[in-house]
């Protein structure tokens, strides 16, 4: 499932290869991916315009146009952005391509195209997306804001950092990787952390995000291959533990993060 690093790679692809190209046609016929818009509504708003900037907060992307509405794009659980012959997003795309998986397409005057390719049909394309419910971006949040938003309440720490209204962008794998790097128990009440622990967690979220972007996605994290029933901590060799926290399967080191 795409998390912040995959979405940032998709945003970067748009910024590098899709900006400044005039849109001459739009396929917005998938009424589920393009909801609540009727077929033709996105086309009417975008044909003749150019994308001029690509932005991201958490797992949500949006593009500015030259004088028109913003175009919001979300990868859902298995989406990829494809620009001409390059793509980024879901780290484990299906090796077989079915044309029906192209759920939304911008065709450019020069003959190229930008596509939202999504086998599971859970991505979104929407005009002027409402991002008001998102917290600050997990890769950019300041120290004081992170302390104030994360370090309170009785919710388990992992559930707290995955709450997109608290900080935006941390998904299941990134949370496990960052908590393992910080040697913090994912079950601890978020409000029990002191400022030093919160500062460490913020640094490790940022570091894990940078490494995942550079390596190609959150699946490349150091602890991720060890999230299995016979897995051992790659740092100390202790058995990995498993539980469901915040509705998500969670793994942690039994020695360094709590038995």
pTM of the model: 0.92
The enclosing domain of 246 has a CATH number of 1.10.8.50
* Nearest C-alpha neighbor of 190 from the set 165, 162, 209: 162
| Residue 183 domain boundaries | 143-253
Catalytic residue among 59, 181, 202, 227: 59
Same domain as 98, residue 12: yes
One DSSP character per residue, 29-56 reads --TTTTTTSPTTHHHHHHTT-BEEEEEE
Same domain as 241, residue 147: yes
Last residue of one domain, picked from the residues 127, 154, 177? 127
Residue 109 is a catalytic residue? no
Last residue of one domain, picked from the residues 127, 160, 177? 127
Residue with tokens 């794009």: 73
Would you state the pLDDT for residue 89? Answer: 86
Show the tokens assigned to 33: 């991916």
DSSP single-letter state for residue 247: T
Residue 59 is a catalytic residue? yes
Same domain as 17, residue 119: yes
Would you state the pLDDT for residue 94? Answer: 63
Residue 3 is a catalytic residue? yes
Same domain as 237, residue 147: yes
Catalytic residue among 3, 8, 50, 107: 3
Residue 132 lies in a domain: no
Same domain as 150, residue 206: yes
Catalytic residue among 2, 5, 156, 186: 2
The enclosing domain of 33 has a CATH number of 3.20.190.10
Residue 11 is a catalytic residue? no
Q: How far apart are CA 31 and CA 175, in angstroms?
A: 33
Mean pLDDT by 10 residues, the chain (259 residues): 91 97 98 96 98 97 96 94 91 75 97 95 96 96 98 97 97 97 98 98 97 93 96 97 96 94
What value, to the nearest 5°, has the Cα angle with vertex 77 and ends 103 and 231?
A: 150
Last residue of one domain, picked from the residues 69, 93, 127? 127
Residue 157 lies in a domain: yes
């Amino acid at each position: 499932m795409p998390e912040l690093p995959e979405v940032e790679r998709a945003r970067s692809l748009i910024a590098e290869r899709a900006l400044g190209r005039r849109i001459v046609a739009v396929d917005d016929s998938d009424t589920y991916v393009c909801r609540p818009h009727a077929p033709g509504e996105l086309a009417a708003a975008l044909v003749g315009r150019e994308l001029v900037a690509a932005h991201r907060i958490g797992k949500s992307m949006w593009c500015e146009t030259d004088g028109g509405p913003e175009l919001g794009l979300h990868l859902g659980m298995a989406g990829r952005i494809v620009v001409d012959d390059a793509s980024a997003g879901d780290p484990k795309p299906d090796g077989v391509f079915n044309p029906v998986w192209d759920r939304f397409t911008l065709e450019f005057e020069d003959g190229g195209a930008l596509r939202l390719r999504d086998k599971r049909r859970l991505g979104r394309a929407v005009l002027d997306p409402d991002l008001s419910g998102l917290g600050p971006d997990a890769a950019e949040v300041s120290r004081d804001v992170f302390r104030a938003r994360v370090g309170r309440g009785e919710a388990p720490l992992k559930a707290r950092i995955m709450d997109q209204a608290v900080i935006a962008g941390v998904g299941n794998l990134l949370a496990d990787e960052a908590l393992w790097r910080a040697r913090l128990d994912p079950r601890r009440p978020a409000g029990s952390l002191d400022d030093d622990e919160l500062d460490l967690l913020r640094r490790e979220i940022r570091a894990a995000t940078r490494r995942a972007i550079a390596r190609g996605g959150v699946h490349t994290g150091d602890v991720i291959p060890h999230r299995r029933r016979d897995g051992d901590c790659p740092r100390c060799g202790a058995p990995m533990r498993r539980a469901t926290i915040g509705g998500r399967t969670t793994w942690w080191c039994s020695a360094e993060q709590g038995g």
